[in-house]
Amino acid sequence: MKITKAINKESKKHINHKRIERIMQENGIKSKVSKKFKVTINNEII
């Protein structure tokens, strides 16, 4: 959605997020996805 907002801010015509998603997919562009959390379980048995 950030890309959609940036493009719509720059252009005079409103562009739907689905169109932007399709164009990105056609050109092999993927968004970065950050992980929500890191697993920190320590299973040391003594």
What is the pLDDT tens value at each position of the chain, 46 positions in all? 788 999 999 988 999 999 999 999 999 998 888 888 887 777 776 6
- Report the pLDDT value the prediction gives residue 18, as an integer from 0 to 100: 94
- Report the pLDDT value the prediction gives residue 14, as an integer from 0 to 100: 92
Hey, what are 11's tokens? 């252009």
Nearest partner of 7 among 46, 42, 34, 17, judged by Cα: 17
Instruction: Give residue 4's domain range.
Output: 1-29
Amino acid at 6: A
Number of domains the chain contains = 1
Distance CA 37, CA 44 (A): 21
Q: What is the pTM of this model?
A: 0.59
Q: Flag whether 19 is in a domain.
A: yes
- Report the pLDDT value the prediction gives residue 1, as an integer from 0 to 100: 73
DSSP letter at 13 equals S
Distance CA 28, CA 22 (A): 10
Q: Where are the alpha helices (DSSP H) in 1-46?
A: 2-10, 17-26
Q: Flag whether 40 is in a domain.
A: no
Q: Flag whether 36 is in a domain.
A: no
